[in-house]
Homo-oligomer: A and B are copies of this chain.
């Protein structure tokens, strides 16, 4: 037979079983937390009609898109979960209840130049709340509390959710008479942390012809730091001059107040005037999430408030707020930085049953009892020597091995070996199940991330 070398495409993550178990644990945690906040799960097609997916148009994205024909159809793979959501809400508007809260965890596709830590197929884990004509500000405060809970339950503790409000920036540049340059300024200010204030000032003045005095005021504004109350106090000094600024200030103040109610600790949450996110889409509160010890990886969860989800499909006004976690990249980073919890059991079975005789009925009976107790159980039925069996058990990484030899069969009991300690006990099937179940329950409480 002519053989083909098996390979996986570059830019496509394919995990080994133990890694996959860890990834699944992360995904399950996110799913569970999203669910606790009353979001409904959606699962839209990966392929959409190109006219639907590209309705909004979009330079860079369009170049990266996977687009192809099948029969007469011009098709494309989704490149995010927001456009499919917009399509879904516009299309099923009459069947949905607003505010419509949905989460979706799914793969998206972008034909980026492959490089370390960049993926062409990757998971996004999104939540959005969509209003019908209006949406209360409280949703903008609840979102960071969900971010807080997701990462805390994942085992990540050293992170800060940075929050800003686009109306504050829009209003501030308006006050400076720089509305038409707002986009350029935001993009430049975004580099503040990387290149420092002097280079930012130079770009603002030289490249965008912004007067030195205005550039100075911009840098002073961006330099406002301190606790959230202090930042808000400084901002209040700018109120009363611009209606958009004032509205942004009020919104931000409301979000900060609610956040305390939602139990997000002050040290996990920072008003940061340098956060702007993309340019056209967001209109109010914006979020970024930074790992305290790994600022170099950028934001691990971002989003914000927008006013018009689906204007390219419908005349309904659909404002919303949402966030997205780039899950594949996050997993890569956690693994790369050694932040995955090595103590979390990732074996597919909690107990491996080793029948040492030809008899199988008692092994099956034991397995059935274990499984009824929620214990993931595998029977090793291959005809191998004891040593080969124990090698298998070790490689599998199962926390327990249940040995069924002549003696155990006769007594209808199980020798349960704890593979971590090496201790072995002769137990009844029920006793062994209890012991394994206790371990399973304990390991369920373990977090996949360990800083």
Residues of A whose CB lies within 8 Å of any CB of B are: 1-9, 12-17, 20-21, 23-24, 35-49, 51-52, 55, 66, 68-71, 73, 75, 86-88, 90-92, 95-97, 99, 101-102, 107, 109, 111, 121, 131, 134-136, 138-139, 142, 258, 261-263, 310-315, 348-349, 352, 360-361, 364-365, 368, 371, 374-383, 392, 395-396
Q: Are B90 and A37 in contact (CB under 8 A)?
A: no
Chain B: minimal CB distance from A398 (Å): 8
A160 to B36 CA separation, bound complex (whole angstroms) = 38
Residues of B within 8 A of A24 (CB): 41, 43
Pair B136/A3 contact, Cβ less than 8 Å: no
**From residue A368, how far is it (CB to closest CB) to chain B in Å?**
6
Give the residues in chain B near A107, CB-CB below 8 Å: 46
Which residues of B are found within 8 Å of A75, using beta-carbon distances?
9
**A383–B136 CB distance below 8 A:** yes
Q: Please report the C-alpha to C-alpha distance between residue A90 and residue B95 in the assembled complex, in whole angstroms.
A: 47
Are A7 and B49 touching (Cβ within 8 A)?
yes
Shortest CB-to-CB span from A332 to chain B, Å, is 14
Count of this chain's copies in the oligomeric assembly: 2
List the B residue with the shortest CB-CB distance to A91: B6
A45 and B4 in contact, given A99-B382, A136-B383, A376-B35 (Cβ under 8 angstroms): no
Chain B residues with CB under 8 Å of A364's CB are 258, 261-262
Q: Please state if B8 and A261 are interface contacts (CB–CB under 8 Å).
A: no
**Do the beta carbons of A38 and B348 come within 8 Å of each other?**
yes
Alpha-carbon separation in the docked complex, A282 to B3 (Å): 21
With A46-B46, A68-B68, A383-B136 as contacts: A21 and B40 at CB distance below 8 Å? yes
A376–B37 alpha-carbon span in the complex (Å):
6
Looking across the interface, which residue of chain B has its beta carbon closest to that of A372? B36
Q: Which listed residue, B131, B365, B396, touches A382 by the CB 8 Å rule?
A: B131
Known contacts A36-B374, A40-B21, A47-B121: A1-B349 contact under CB 8 Å: no
A20 and B41 contacting across the interface, CB-CB below 8 Å? yes
> Can you list 19 A-B pairs, Cβ within 8 angstroms, ordered by A?
A1-B311, A1-B312, A3-B311, A7-B87, A9-B48, A14-B88, A16-B92, A17-B41, A20-B41, A23-B43, A36-B374, A37-B376, A46-B121, A68-B68, A136-B381, A138-B360, A258-B364, A261-B364, A262-B368
Partner of A39, one of B111, B314, B348, B392: B348
Partner of A66, one of B41, B45, B68, B95: B68
Of the candidates A40, A49, A139, A375, the one having the most CB atoms from chain B within 10 angstroms of its own CB is A40
Contact of A7 among B12, B37, B52 (CB under 8 A): B52
Chain B residue at minimal CB-CB distance from A254: B360
A95 CB contacts on chain B under 8 angstroms: 16
Residues in B neighbouring A16, C-beta threshold 8 A = 92, 95-96
| Distance (whole angstroms) from the CB of A409 to the closest CB of chain B | 14
What is the bound-complex CA distance between A138 and B381, given in angstroms?
7
